Chains A and B, each alone.
Chain A
Amino acid sequence: MRITCPLCGERDRREFTYRGAALDAPAADDGAEAWHSHVHLRQNPAGPLEEWWHHQQGCGSWIRVRRDTVSHVMLASALAKPEDADGGSA
């Protein structure tokens, strides 16, 4: 597979580490049920999925990738923290 890193361009997936679906975490006061659901009850969609990839062997960016889990087509990718692209702190 090839993954597009917004900083480095299209790279081999062996440079990346997979984390899983990119989900919005519940707030701290949302309670155990919401957190249990967030951590343990994941969807496994056949089709487009937002997910986190870490360009560990490259620039070190965490990237939000939209990938079709059936065809492996990479639909979009964006930096988790776009400020890093400027090479400086926020």
Chain B
Amino acid sequence: MSAVSTQQVNRLSGGLVDRGQPLSFRFDGQSYQGCSGDTLASALMANGVRLMGRSFKYHRPRGLLSAGSEEPNALVELRTGGRQEPNTRATVAELYDGLDARSQNRWPSLERDMMAINDRFANFLTAGFYYKTFMWPKAFWEKLYEPIIRKAAGLGRLTGDADPDAYDKGFLHCDLLVVGAGPAGLAAALTAGRAGARVILADEDFLLGGRLLSEAQPLADIAGADWAGQVQAELAVMGNVRILPRTTVFGAYDHGIYGAVERNADHVAAPDAGKPRQTLWRIYSKRAIIATGAIERPIAFENNDRPGIMLAGAVRSFANRWAATPASSVVIFANNDDAHQTARDLQAKGVDVPAVVDVRPDAPEIPGIELLAGAQIVETAGRLGLRSVTVRMANGKTRIIPCGALAMSGGWNPNLGLTCHQRGRPVWDGDLHAFVPGQDLPVGQHVAGAAMGAMSTDAALRSGAEQAGEALADLGFTVPAPELPKAEDAPVSLTPFWHVQGAKRAWLDFQNDVTVKDVKLAHQENFTAVEHLKRYTTLGMATDQGKTSNVGALAVMAELTGKSIPQTGTTIFRPPYTPVAMGALAGRAVGKDFHPTRLTPSHAWAEEQGAVFVEVGNWLRAQWFPKPGETHWRQSVDREVQQTRRSVGICDVTTLGKIDVQGADAAAFLNMMYANGFAKLPVGKVRYGLMLREDGVAYDDGTAARLAEDHFVVTTTTANAVLVYRNMEFVRQCLCPDMDVQLISTTEAWAQYAVAGPNARKLLQKIVDPEFDISNDAFPFMACGEITVCGGCRARLFRISFSGELAYEIAVPTRYGDALMREMMAAGEAFDVTPYGTEALGVMRIEKGHAAGNELNGTTTALNLGLGRMVSGKKDCIGNVLSRREGMNTDDALRLVGLKPVTPAQSLPAGGHLMAASGPVDAAHDQGYVTSAAYSPTLGTAIGLGFVKGGAERLGEQLRLVNPLEKQEMLVEIVSAHFVDPEGEKLRA
């Protein structure tokens, strides 16, 4: 298997490959040589390799069908390790030195594939087989059928390794996007570039020129490839033109936006350091010209899928551009004149063309080549590669012609993909016998060249220039018509012919193994609508979206139903035009970069303390601070709670949302935002505020501190900071535009810390500058003010408490947060101060009975939360009217209560539901549920908060807490939610 084959037995003369730059590569372990300018497909062909893959369902041996991105057969796995990539079409894989490629969907080898047994059972594996066979018994699907099918079917394998490469995203803007750099695209770009428009010219190929690179016929007196090179050279020096080779425009979106993937480094072994492998471009175009050419269609005949049976235009591409032939003798089978050019070009390159089989009785003669007019191919032979074709002559006799390849052509279909992405529907052109773009194109889109049905090179050149002129005239450009070379201008001469009558296994869709017989079966079972046909047979649903197969299958169905092709319908295309790697869509948003990480100003300090962090939204917050000897998180959390309640603790609460509200109508505005009133709040005071949604359900809570008559600072929960700010702006701008009020989010402008515990004031007195009196008399509970700390540092102090202790929140400008934390910890040493994290914060708020996110869960009302009296009846506010709905205000409405296990050692499962002490356990008997639970080191027992129907009146009652998922049941007692300091003496001390 490791012998080096240096024999490029099928390499021809000429072409656009550089024999001076030989490249080594491997395919299925065998080493080969190719040339710079080759694709994997052309290099394999030059080396005499015809067998390149196995089909999806029947595991039939397959070779190349096409020379481009429409390729259904030759799907390969490229590279190894983290860079391994499945399902790449060999026809678009640019060859580089050291490329390692493997065939797919075969075991143990491409030549001997065990699953080829499927082909023997083809009679059972027809269309609809899965639907019919694996429906019963139902349970077998997941456990038996699906795993077996998944193993047997499928294409390439994913690597299990992480992709080592980077993918970028970028935005581009232009007046005119030209998709495709064939004759039409080049003429369009040249016209627009010379007119001074900002132009982007994108082509999926690594060389510009499109079909010009594949044709031997010159443009006037210059070879097509040379003309393309000249145009490229002129465009390249225009500052207003950007050329994107190796770039697939894969989707047409709203408002002239196109998605494109540029393959920056797929043509080398690995990207240069720091460079991306691919770039996803979002292109904003004012106008776009789709010049994506045409795709040739196969003819369906018996065993038309053998390696060596290819599209005639593709054979011509390989011969002229890549100097390769699939075999030393090639038969042609066609219904049109264009394929005759393949015969002439092959013969000119010294390839034997034994015959041209043309279904048309009046097909034109080709000098020097035998023409079998009115003949059809009825059978082929050669299991792993074509050996011969059987021709039924016009006179009815059959003749076997030995050959290594067959070039077939049923005509050409305009490549419509991007014209359909906004539901544009193609229309049938009776002269071309093909679908062409309809009138309902995406906004700003034009179509030029073969994609719109201008099939000759000359017509393509002219239509490219014309469409560019039209598009740019719309934008106000003066567009001189460029001089274009005279090119071949042969009319399309074709007699429609789709399939050879009587064929049993004649392939339409090569990738999904759909044959003429499958379409007949679909018709027989009345799946005649084109969308049904597609789903029943899986036609066109493979990774190639049926680029080579859809129209042929439609024609067969049309024949069966006795309708015309346009009456039968057409399928349209969806983005992406060709598969896009997930990595390109993800760009740099992978791993830790999936979303930004927000750190509080004292994060570094917390890290030094060995804090354990938890993600809260994008924030990292200290969850607890383990001390030496603490082996379980509960030990740390219990200690933090006890130390805080005994003396003093400090918690970083910077992540709370902070919004500055200023203006003459600031108080009136807050009256509108909050359920409770703020108009009468004195300057220097803080008030708790509850916001409702428009439907009356509780939305968010926080505090509003009045720093001046016209100046408030409000806080929101961490999770809702962005949403509440947006909502407040909505109210300000849309609902109350006449109010004099301004808002700004200051969440990141201030570092804020809770200082809680009996010694909180003593600690702060060492920090706050002495001219500010913060004694209980001068600065009582719910006071607030602007102060200075540490000898003049600006700060804000709020006497508010979430823990139930004597507590303050102190805020300093962000840049002083770290320093303040260190100063406070030093000042607190005398009091055995502890930092505490979000867990201790949570325990203490549950002990105090404060509602948080678990309670404001989007279903609960102010009444449920025990805050019903806060909803002011005297003023209007968001949600006021609907909060008074009868059904939300019944006597047995859920009420927030405290819960304690009857057996003290038990812990409470949050999320558990509450049932009567005896009786059924089901939804109909539900009494409520547990929202928050914790172990209270203060009480020495588990405690919880929850909602119980009519709960305020049921203190002392016992309920069953059930958790059927974990098969838990326990008795709990309803108690006051205020487990600690119910009279609020501590926080007023």
Contact = CB atoms under 8 A, between A and B. Distances in A.
B772 interface: no
Given A2-B257, A17-B726, A28-B876, A81 B740 contact: no
B881 A54 contact: no
Given A25-B735, A61-B733, A32 B695 contact: no
Contact of B881 (A2, A31, A73, A83): A31
A19 B729 CA distance: 12
B802 interface: no
Contacts of B282: 12
A61 B733 CA distance: 8
Contacts of B284: 2, 12
B604 interface: no
Contacts of B256: 2
Interface string A69-90: 0001110000111011000011
Interface in B700-745: 726, 729-730, 732-735, 737-742
B279 interface: no
A28 B874 CA distance: 11
A25 B694 CA distance: 10
Contacts of A56: 726
A40 B734 contact: no
Interface string B864-886: 00000000000010001110110
A49 to B, nearest CB: 15
A48 to B, nearest CB: 16
A84 B255 contact: no
B402 interface: no
A90 B738 contact: yes
Q: For chain A, which range describes its interface: under 10, 10 to 19, 20 to 34, or 35 or more residues? A: 20 to 34
A8 interface: no
Interface string B238-265: 0000000000000001111100000000
B684 interface: no
Contacts of A28: 876, 880-881
B726 A89 contact: no
A61 B734 CA distance: 10
B715 to A, nearest CB: 20
Given A54-B726, A61-B733, A72 B880 contact: no
Contacts of B354: none
B255 A80 contact: no
A60 interface: yes
A60 B735 CA distance: 16
Interface string B273-289: 00000000010100000
A25 B879 CA distance: 12
A80 B734 contact: yes
B663 interface: yes
Given A28-B881, A40-B695, A72 B255 contact: yes
Nearest to A70: B423
A39 to B, nearest CB: 5
A79 B733 CA distance: 9
Contacts of B694: 35, 38-39
Given A1-B254, A1-B255, A35 B733 contact: no
B730 A62 contact: yes
A17 B255 CA distance: 18
A10 B932 CA distance: 47
Q: Which residue, of B282, B663, B729, B741, has the highest number of chain A Cβ atoms within 10 A?
A: B729
Contacts of A83: 737
B732 A19 contact: no
A54 B730 contact: yes
Contacts of B726: 17, 54, 56
Contacts of A80: 733-734, 737
A39 B697 CA distance: 12
B438 to A, nearest CB: 15
B699 to A, nearest CB: 13
B255 A2 contact: yes
B281 to A, nearest CB: 13
Contacts of A25: 735
B255 A81 contact: no
B730 A52 contact: yes
Interface in A18-56: 19, 22, 25-26, 28, 30-32, 35-36, 38-40, 52, 54, 56
Contacts of B729: 54, 60, 62
A36 B735 contact: no
Interface in B822-878: 876
Contacts of B730: 19, 52, 54, 62
A22 to B, nearest CB: 8
Interface in B293-320: none
A26 B735 CA distance: 11
B205 to A, nearest CB: 29
Given A32-B885, A54-B726, A62 B734 contact: yes
B882 A81 contact: no
B737 A81 contact: yes
A16 to B, nearest CB: 11
Contacts of B742: 89
A72 B255 CA distance: 8
Contacts of A22: 734
Interface of B: 171, 253-257, 282, 284, 443, 663, 694-695, 726, 729-730, 732-735, 737-742, 876, 880-882, 884-885
Closest 6 CB pairs of A and B: A28-B876, A81-B733, A62-B733, A80-B733, A81-B737, A2-B255
13 contacts: A1-B255, A1-B257, A2-B255, A25-B735, A61-B733, A62-B730, A64-B734, A79-B733, A89-B663, A89-B741, A89-B742, A90-B737, A90-B740
